Amino acid sequence: MTTPLRYHKALVALHWLMAIMLTVALFIGSVILVDIPNSSPEKVDALRGHMIVGIVILLLTIIRLIVRLKTAKPAPATTGNPLLDKVGYLTHWLLYILVFAMIGSGIALAVQSNLAAAVFMKTALLPENFQLYAPRLAHGIIAKALMALIGLHVLAALYHQFVRKDGLIARMWWAK
Ligand code: HEM
């Protein structure tokens, strides 16, 4: 198999779709959702949207991982520094791990607080608040770590594109 110049177009589509969905989920989760008290009638609707988006992100991440492993990818991009290149390689896998951890902690929180019954079946009430459950703490900490890692990922892409001028972003875009 020859080494392509770009990632597979399905992977490119999944990359940008997930970039948008993760940014929106992180923003809405930390800025809007947390500030709605569980006693408010709006909370159930907000949680339903958040949970559905979370599950869609899970499915897209699994599909993306399969496409990533099954398609040919371009040669590794280099910064000129072997240590930074290693950090870049690890960052990509850590992004997958944190997305799975985000969803895993969300699901664990939902199971412990009987959230599906409250949100989808309306056969239970929301708990007084989610802070009573350990996975809520994990979900919040992982969210901050994921935001930091996405920030680092964006900075690294900009460094490649504008400082090294190696056209890195074109590798994650569709061919003209
Ligand atoms: C990649 C997917 C997800 C992202 C990016 C995400 C993001 C977030 C963020 C940023 C927060 C606020 C954390 C904080 O500031 O402390 C939050 C809260 C929450 N998330 Fe998620 N989440 C995801 C998936 C899920 C899933 C799958 C579920 C449940 C099945 C879930 C249930 C919750 C609940 C119950 C809260 C607590 C809201 C509150 O404290 O009032 N999340 N999420």
Q: What is the mean pLDDT of residues 76-102?
A: 96
Please tell me if the CB atom of residue 108 comes closer than 6 angstroms to any atom of ligand 1. no
Q: In the predicted model, what is the mean pLDDT of the chain?
A: 96
Per 3-state DSSP, what percentage of the chain is helix, strand, and coil (rounded to 5)?
A: 75, 0, 25
Q: Say if residue 108 is exposed, middle or buried (CB neighbours under 10 Å; 0-12, 13-18, 19+).
A: middle
Ligand 1 centroid to 154 CA: how many Å?
22
pTM of the model: 0.94
> What is the model's pLDDT at position 1?
64
Q: By alpha-carbon position, which residue is closest to atom 31 of ligand 1?
A: 106
Please tell me if the CB atom of residue 57 comes closer than 6 angstroms to any atom of ligand 1. yes
For residues 48 and 116, is the Cβ–Cβ distance under 8 A?
A: no
- Using DSSP's 3-state secondary structure scheme, residue 60 falls into helix
